[in-house]
């Protein structure tokens, strides 16, 4: 491309070098676009033709600008989170950015949690956890974007709380925000021309506006990258192996003091002492759990990570960060959370240690279930 070309959908400068950046258009598509006088970047092309939204990489600076704009708008904020990775999907400082705007919190991927779990109890728990982060949602909802569960209810809640205002949908990457918006588009319109893309002023970020009934719009914002998420430390294949796709089956272990569980080679749980025995593991059903003595666990890991203990595979172990240890004592029934991977529910009084790849957070929270 000799001269600067721009997408007629979003205005991004057309480029053919980096798939993840704004304006990406394969060379062949640029040629075709110029011939037909309809030059769209790949993202807008997909949006027009398949009603599909793709994510792009963005800088922190742009995010700050974006969040600040949301704060100064008069709007309903819909914060999509992954209910399976609650802590990993909170946006740090969101409560400060939203200003006086109401926040509707949507726990997506509800299909992953055991069906036996009472939804009303889970909503109370979400509210409590949000409050701990300083966020006071006006309401909470539970959806499954892939199973098309409770999307209608969500749209009703949005109508109820937006009171004639615009709606901004925000979320960190991988919570299912795109899937959810695509479902909403399908239910509301199905007509590609009703969707417009434009720029957040002063940033390189583009937004997608889905018209609502009254000249207002539902505005999709780019996914915010949360570095603590396990997703940033595993290869695509390994990530698929540890990301649950189906309803999680609880796995119960009666552990003695000083016993260890390995979750593949991605994480480790030490039961140090105390509490009533019995822990419940919530992880992808196919992720292998291996029990051993804590005393010899580190040696065992050295020897078997990438082999008997996998994922990651032997090849991937080369780039895989070392496991870092965090110790906790539970003062109530709690979940020891490995951000993005899952959690282990332990009883009051139990002393435990969680090990996760360096950079991935391990934390203790009030038990969800």
Q: Which residues of the chain form contacts with ligand GDP (CB under 6 A)?
A: 55, 108-109, 111-112, 144-146, 171, 173-179, 223, 245
What is the closest distance, in whole angstroms, from the C-beta atom of residue 110 to ligand GDP in the complex?
7
Q: What is d(CA 363, CA 162) in angstroms, rounded to the nearest whole number?
A: 34
Nearer to ligand GDP, 187 or 256 (CB): 187
Q: CB nearer to ligand GDP: give 245 or 250.
A: 245
Instruction: Report in angstroms how near the CB of residue 165 gets to ligand GDP at its nearest.
Output: 23
Is 235 within 8 Å of 312 (Cβ atoms)?
Answer: yes
C-alpha separations of 167 from 195, 221, 307 in Å: 15, 10, 49
Name the minimum Å distance from CB 144 to ligand GDP: 4
Between 145 and 238, CB nearer to ligand GDP: 145
Secondary structure class of 304 (helix, strand, coil): helix
As a whole number of angstroms, the distance between CA 165 and CA 163 comes to: 6
Q: Are 41 and 23 in contact (CB under 8 A)?
A: yes
Nearer to ligand GDP among residue 140 and residue 255 (C-beta): 140
SS3 163: coil
Report which residue's Cβ sits closest to ligand GDP. 176
d(CA 56, CA 152): 28
Shortest separation between residue 245's beta carbon and ligand GDP, angstroms: 6
In the complex, the smallest distance separating the C-beta of residue 48 from ligand GDP, rounded to whole angstroms, is 18
> Of 113, 85, 67, nearest to 232 (Cα)?
85
Residue 297 to residue 82: CA distance in whole angstroms: 32
Question: Is the preceding omega at residue 311 within 30 degrees of 0, hence cis?
Answer: yes
Residue 156 tokens read as 């009703």
Q: Between 108 and 294, whose beta carbon lies closer to ligand GDP?
A: 108
In the complex with ligand GDP, the residue whose CB is nearer, 33 or 222, is 222
Shortest reach from residue 121's CB to ligand GDP, in Å: 20
Taking the complex as a whole, the smallest distance from the CB of residue 80 to ligand GDP amounts, in Å, to 7
Q: In what order do the strands lie in the sheet with 351-357?
A: 289-293, 259-263, 267-273, 351-357, 323-329
| Beta carbon nearer to ligand GDP, 109 or 268 | 109
Nearby residues of 171 by Cβ (< 8 Å), 6 or more positions away: 79, 80, 81, 89, 91, 177, 223, 224
Structure-block tokens of residue 283: 């992880």
Q: What is the rounded distance in angstroms from the CA atom of residue 91 to the CA atom of residue 345?
A: 24
Nearer to ligand GDP, 195 or 305 (CB): 195
Smallest gap from Cβ 179 to ligand GDP, in A, equals: 3
């Amino acid at each position: 491309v000799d001269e600067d070309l721009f997408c007629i959908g979003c205005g991004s400068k057309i480029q053919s070098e980096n798939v993840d950046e704004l304006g990406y258009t394969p060379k062949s598509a640029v040629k075709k676009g110029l011939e037909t006088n309809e030059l769209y970047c790949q993202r807008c092309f997909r949006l027009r033709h398949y009603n599909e939204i793709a994510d792009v990489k963005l800088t922190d600076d742009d995010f700050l600008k974006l969040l600040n704009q949301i704060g100064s708008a008069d709007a309903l904020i819909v914060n999509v989170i992954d209910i399976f990775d609650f802590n990993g999907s909170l946006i740090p400082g969101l409560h400060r950015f939203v200003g006086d705007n109401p926040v509707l919190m949507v726990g997506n991927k509800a299909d992953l949690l055991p069906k036996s779990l009472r939804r009303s109890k889970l909503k109370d728990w979400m509210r409590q956890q949000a409050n701990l982060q300083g966020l006071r949602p006006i309401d909470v909802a539970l959806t499954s974007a892939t199973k098309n569960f409770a999307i209608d209810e969500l749209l009703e809640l949005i109508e109820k709380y937006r009171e004639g205002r615009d709606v901004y949908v925000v979320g960190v990457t991988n919570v299912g925000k795109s899937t959810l918006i695509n479902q909403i588009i399908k239910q509301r319109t199905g007509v590609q021309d009703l969707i417009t893309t434009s720029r957040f002023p002063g940033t390189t970020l583009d937004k997608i506006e889905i018209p609502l009934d009254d000249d207002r719009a539902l505005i999709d914002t780019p996914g915010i990258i949360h570095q603590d998420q396990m997703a940033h430390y595993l290869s695509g294949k390994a990530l698929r192996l540890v990301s649950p796709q189906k309803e999680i089956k609880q796995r119960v272990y009666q552990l003695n003091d000083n016993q260890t569980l390995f979750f593949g080679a991605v994480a480790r749980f030490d039961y140090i002492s105390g509490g009533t025995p019995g822990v419940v593991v919530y992880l992808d059903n196919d992720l292998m759990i291996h029990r051993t003595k804590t005393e010899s666990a580190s040696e065992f890991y050295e020897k078997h990570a990438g082999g008997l203990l996998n994922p990651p595979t032997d090849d991937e172990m080369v780039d895989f960060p070392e496991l870092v240890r965090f110790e906790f004592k539970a003062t109530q029934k709690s979940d020891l959370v490995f951000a993005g991977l899952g959690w282990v529910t332990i009883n009051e009084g139990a002393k435990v240690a969680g090990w996760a790849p360096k950079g991935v957070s391990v934390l203790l929270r009030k038990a969800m279930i």
